[in-house]
Amino acid sequence: MELRDRHVVIVGGTKGIGAATARLAAARGARVTITGRSPSSLDAALQRLPSGVVGEPLDFTEPSSVAAFAARIVAPDHLVLCASSAVAWGPFAQLAEDALQRAFEAKFWGYWRVVQALAANLPETGSITLVTGAAARAALPGTAGLAAVNGALEAAAKVLAVELAPRRVNTVSPGLTATEAYAWMDEAARDGMFADAAAKLPARRIGQPEDVARVILLAASNPFMTGTTLDVDGGAHLAR
């Protein structure tokens, strides 16, 4: 009931974890606005989401797009950021600097711009939830770039929780989750990767978007939670 009639803005809500969060927030009575980079992606997402969900174009790699979005959007009660498009995979020794720069631009700086543009518009009872990733603290080989981007967000969020108080700022850190991000893979290869990963996790399964969505809305709606990182990774962050 904490979300009924509250305005939840989900940056990156057209698919995967963002779409699952939009669907669950709407089911809990929230007014939901999702963003997407193109009208076509928004239209396709809105056809799959509950009626009443609203779409707004936003390319957070472009400062002018962020400024225009901030001017249009009705003040949200809860801001959720779970969009990213460029990922810097690979061993540190071979990781190209420009690939890491693109990853920072596509996530860290995008999140930063949106929060800076909208934070002052949130009510004092509002919240900001940043979706990061398990690589930030799991120390997995080949994920130094992911750790850098997501670790920077998690570190910044703790400071924002103090600077923007009493507005609450939290991060949600998902592990391997079955989303459209892996649609490019051959189905058999994808299923094999998921099965291998699940066997190594204490939970013995990988995540589903709905698993993460429930925790995002917990962070958004719990009035006594701020400056916290919530792991939703099947135990990937545990030393073993």
Q: Classify residue 217 by its DSSP letter.
A: H
Q: In terms of CATH architecture, what is 7-232?
A: 3-Layer(aba) Sandwich (3.40)
Predicted confidence (pLDDT) per residue in 212-225, tens digit: 999 999 999 999 99
Angle separating helix axes 109-118 and 144-163, nearest 10 degrees: 10
pTM: 0.94
d(CA 78, CA 80): 7
pLDDT beneath 70, residues of the chain: 1, 85-86, 239-240
Q: What is the pLDDT of residue 78?
A: 98
